[in-house]
Amino acid sequence: MPLQAAILAWYDARGRSLPFRGASDPYLVLVSEVMAQQTQISRVGEAWREFTTTFPSFERLAAASPADVLRAWRGLGYNRRALNLWRAARIVVDDHGGQLPADVAVLERLPGIGPYTARAVAAIAFGAAVGAVDTNVRRVLGRTIAGATDSLPAADLQRLADASVPADRTADWTHALMDVGATFCRTSRPDCEACPARPWCRYASEAGSPVEGRRDRVARGARERAAPFESSSRWLRGRILDRLREVDGPGWLELVAPIGDHDRAAVERSLVLLAAEGLVERDPDSALSARLPLG
């Protein structure tokens, strides 16, 4: 297939060099994919290296306390991913003998593993000819084949993604499509002239889609109207977890309010939410005392 050959040739010559790109061990691949779910790829490499040095296997991760895992996750955000990865490791050790299942349906049943992550792990670690469809891949295939990102129903796009995978280069193809999406086929101002898919791309031949242009402008406007980051509850929860990460051992930490612009009531509300998500344990004797979960 000429399109496939052109994308792979570009990837071989200019694909992004990332620390985890050469990994094929299922555990290492899973950690990299979970980290990349909601984190800029440029931030993942060093964090992946440090995390997998501390926890080099499913067994070591499963044996750790949630507190230690959350400490090792510092700086990546969306901390529920760390707990889900720890829970998944325990299931792999307890139910699968420490070996990550290769079956996509079984992978999807693990905590925090959705359709994209399951397929990416299956393709990269196990050589399965399945298409991992994230936002980048959706743009590349949707625009190339149908002329717009959202023109194809999800089921049709998944079938197209599966059919596009070369059986002998499943990992490279998975990485290559993501790189083309991130490098050229961007949401706004795509670089169609330099894209290796241009000769076969319906979107490029039609000079872009007005509908997608309007969507991009709406997204930018929404971002401009969003509340300042330090005023958000997400920022507050992150600061609370960072303070708790500094505590060695099982002791409680009294969180002194205010934290930034957030008063005592806001801090207490955040602790309630963090405890409900399993990210902290609250001191039953003090409304503002907490610690990272011990087990």
DSSP 192-211: GGG-TTGGG-HHHHTT--HH
Q: Which of 33, 108, 246, 268 is catalytic?
A: 33
Spell out the residues 6+ positions from residue 110 whose beta carbon is closer than 8 angstroms to its own.
Answer: 88, 91, 92
**Both tokens assigned to 196:** 């290796």
Q: Is 33 tagged catalytic?
A: yes
Please provide residue 258's backbone torsions phi and psi, each rounded to the nearest 5 degrees: -80, 160
CATH architecture classification, 2-182: Orthogonal Bundle (1.10)
Which DSSP category does 188 fall into?
S
What gap in Å lies between CA 197 and CA 52, rounded to an integer?
Answer: 35
> Would you kindly state where each structural domain of the chain is located, as residue ranges?
2-182, 230-291
Residue-level pLDDT, tens digit, the chain, 295 residues = 899 999 999 999 999 999 999 899 999 999 999 999 988 888 999 999 999 999 999 999 999 999 999 999 999 999 999 999 999 999 999 999 999 999 999 999 999 999 999 999 999 999 999 999 999 999 999 999 989 988 899 999 999 999 999 999 999 999 999 999 999 999 989 999 999 999 999 999 985 444 444 344 334 444 444 445 888 999 999 999 999 999 988 999 999 999 999 999 999 999 999 999 999 999 999 999 999 999 8
Long-range CB contacts (within 8 A, 24+) of 234-239: 235/260, 236/260, 236/262, 236/266, 236/267, 236/270, 237/270, 237/273, 237/274, 237/279, 238/77
